[in-house]
Chains A and B, each alone.
Chain A
Amino acid sequence: MALSRRQFVQTAGLGAGAALTANVWGRGRENSIWSAIEPNLQAVEHGVICVSSNENPVGPGEKVLGSLRSLLEGGKKPGRYSNQVGELTESIAAHFKVKTENVLVSEGSTEILRAATQVFTSKTKALVGTIPTYEECAGYAELIGNPVHGVKLNSEFKIDLDQMLAAAKGAGLVFYCNPNNPTATYVGAKATRDFLQKLNAASPDTTILVDEAYFDYVTDPDHETHVPIAIENPHVIVARTFSKAYGMAGLRQGYAIGHPETIKKMRQWVGSSGTGSLNVFGMAAATASIQQDADGAFTKNERNRNKAVRDMVTKWFADRGMKPTDSQANFMFVNIGTPAKAFREACRAKNVMVARDFPPFHQTHARISLGTMEEMQKAVQVFGEVLATKKSTAAA
């Protein structure tokens, strides 16, 4: 596996990247495609604070849970699955003021990431993404034997647009995760628009998948969804998920918005169409979620709640001389100066789940998802104890 992976992976731009790539791409996902085989038993037990998976600690809200309850109470006509796909699609289209033919609902955004990689990369058309970023596209490209080009982030841990542009010429698909996971940084709307334009000009056949999983958490004033561009431009796709701000990671709902022709190409690779299906609870909850957010109040509240927690945790680290990146998401990426693994294990022993490895920064950086304020007040205590021990051990 390692050998064949190395054949596929090439680094664009910085020479130093070559050493990183073999391990960076296609390593374990949040729980890895190998979860059927690797023992990985870490359910969130009672009393454990889980800040490891960028979930929304508050959940989807009472209204959404009520809609699920009403499903079980028989308030809705059961069994009309296909109509539910239709209703969810229509609700998403209405929310963004686009047509239903611009929308493709899916099993989490994961399925969109896979479908785009499937359709737009090939043996001769590579996937291009940053190192590090959310691994699904690269992992899947590798799985189907298509080449992957990694581009290092810039010194602020943001997408390096010049390097990205250079690497993307002739590529099949650019994965543009913004805000980026795991670094939490955000490239402003104007810079992204310019990038899309330049890339279209330089490489007209290259498709760009803008992953807006964490968009609802962005507070940078220069932010805008790229949905309006995607519906016009067949080479731009936006991926969204209900797993983050909408708080329903367990229900596996996501979607793509794009040009009808682009959506059409991906459709047969997505379970919501053809002979597949999404689960009824997820569809009902997703429909209720996006309908209740028609005025944006739900996401605004969630964004504000998250920002207060993010500010508190950012300040806590800064006060101790550990500067996180400029997080625009519901997690942060912090240089703790010690390997993530040791930090993770020490925190786990104190009932805080946090910080999986993100090569090439796993020796120094930890990704910390943001729980509730109450959870994070407890969590930073644990971080303090753990990091103090590390330092005293190091000094000894």
Chain B
Amino acid sequence: MSVSRRGFLQGLGVDRTHAAAFMAARGHEELVAEAMQQGRQGAARRPNLPPGVEAIRISSNENPLGPGKAAIDAILGKFPEANRYPFNSTPLDADLEILIAKLNSAKRENVVLGVGSQELLKNAARVFMSPTKHLVIPSPTYGDPAGFAQNALHYTVKSAPVHDKTLKTDLSALLPLVKGAGLVYLCNPNNPTGTINSAQEIKDFVAEVKKTSPTTAVLLDEAYCDYATDPSFATAFPLALATPGVIVARTMSKAYGMAGVRIGYAIGDAATIKKMAAYRMPYNVNTFGVAAAVASLKDPQHIKDESARNKAVRDFTTKFFADLGYTSTDSQTNFIFTDIGKTMTAAQFRDACAAKGVMVGRDFPPLEKQWARISLGTMEEMQKATEVFRSVLKPATTTSSGKGQ
């Protein structure tokens, strides 16, 4: 086995490695959400592309390059152990918890693993909410916690809009909603707006929440944190470790490029994590994912490189839209959120782009008449994609026909 594995690895040329990476990376959450929005399952996921056109998929905030070589090698190394449960396998799921703890100056009891961060987001709703303890979210934000709270649990959700110009999460507008809440969910950087709240703002907000409503838990979803380049951003890990009822959720699905591998984790103080761990599904994480996550976390340079690569593409794409006269928010993520409202709606933009082989993000109510979310592919993909955007939008300065073209 080891011989053939090595042979196989040597056989992986650059293209193949890229393909492998691509495969493991492509995200899922938004894909499903898109499919549901279209009201169909399965085949509906692919747009009707012209014959021979290969889609550029920049709709789901995935890392277009996928995991690094260390992670791919780790996955290949797991083949002989596919039959072993995660608690018998090497590395153990526990080893991943210990590594995460060590990297963040925490202890194992401060860490819980999830099947992606989605299991953690759902479990936080279950642990901290009740029929009388609602969820507080900014609008728009990542929809999973609110969707689960409403549809599966039948609990109440209250929301406050983001700032109308910057689309930054308006923490002061959320504060009046937190009294008696079970949980506040903040995605920072936020999806789909791409904006951040600074470390200081988050710290002050949490302090206010604890003052106003001491039993309310705060879940900080830092899925995109590795892409934040604004120096005012910082992880809330130290805050979570020091504050009962504050949890930070992370995923390997974004910068780590492993959306298909399904590994996430949460960090918090021991008593809070213990509550979350009670809901953790036994043997929830797959052994391939554990091995890939351990290898990835030991390769921080890869994430630095990925963040720099993404920033170059983000700057390029943001500038492209600015040059055409369209404003984007200050994205600190691997997607941008752009105001195309003077020309068309997100749905019109999406359909027009899909017809030319470019898949961009779904509707994000209540902003879908105006704002489109565009995930960032590789520079090469975005160079092609922006040409499509240009032809779809036409230069805004010469467009006088307004919406509905």
Contact = CB atoms under 8 A, between A and B. Distances in A.
Interface of A: 29-37, 39-45, 50, 52-53, 55-60, 64-65, 68-69, 71-74, 76, 78-83, 86, 107-108, 110-111, 114, 136, 143, 243, 247-252, 268-269, 271, 273-282, 285, 353
Interface in B147-201: 147-148, 151-152
Interface of B: 8, 11-12, 15-16, 18-20, 22-29, 31-33, 35, 41-43, 45, 57, 62, 66, 72, 75-76, 78-95, 97, 108-109, 111-113, 115-116, 118-119, 143-144, 147-148, 151-152, 259-262, 270, 273-274, 277-289
A251 B83 CA distance: 8
Contacts of B24: 78, 280
Nearest to A72: B20
Given A43-B90, A55-B85, A86-B41, A136 B282 contact: yes
18 contacts: A33-B278, A33-B280, A33-B282, A39-B108, A55-B85, A59-B82, A73-B20, A76-B23, A81-B259, A82-B28, A83-B45, A107-B281, A110-B283, A250-B81, A250-B86, A276-B28, A277-B118, A278-B262
B83 A56 contact: yes
Contacts of B29: 275-277
A239 B249 CA distance: 31
Given A50-B88, A78-B23, A268 B152 contact: yes
A111 to B, nearest CB: 6
Contacts of A252: 86, 115, 283-286
A36 B273 contact: yes
Contact of A249 (B41, B83, B148): B83
Nearest to B22: A78
B261 A279 contact: yes
Nearest to B122: A276
B199 to A, nearest CB: 27
Given A33-B277, A74-B16, A82-B42, 8 more contacts: A44-B88, A69-B76, A71-B20, A81-B27, A81-B31, A250-B78, A276-B28, A276-B119
A43 B91 contact: yes
Contacts of A52: 88
Residue in B12, B85, B95 with the greatest tally of chain A CB atoms within 10 Å: B85
B81 A81 contact: no
Contact of B112 (A29, A31, A32, A36): A36
A110 B118 contact: no
Closest 6 CB pairs of A and B: A78-B23, A74-B19, A79-B26, A250-B287, A280-B260, A31-B87
B159 to A, nearest CB: 18
A127 B119 CA distance: 24
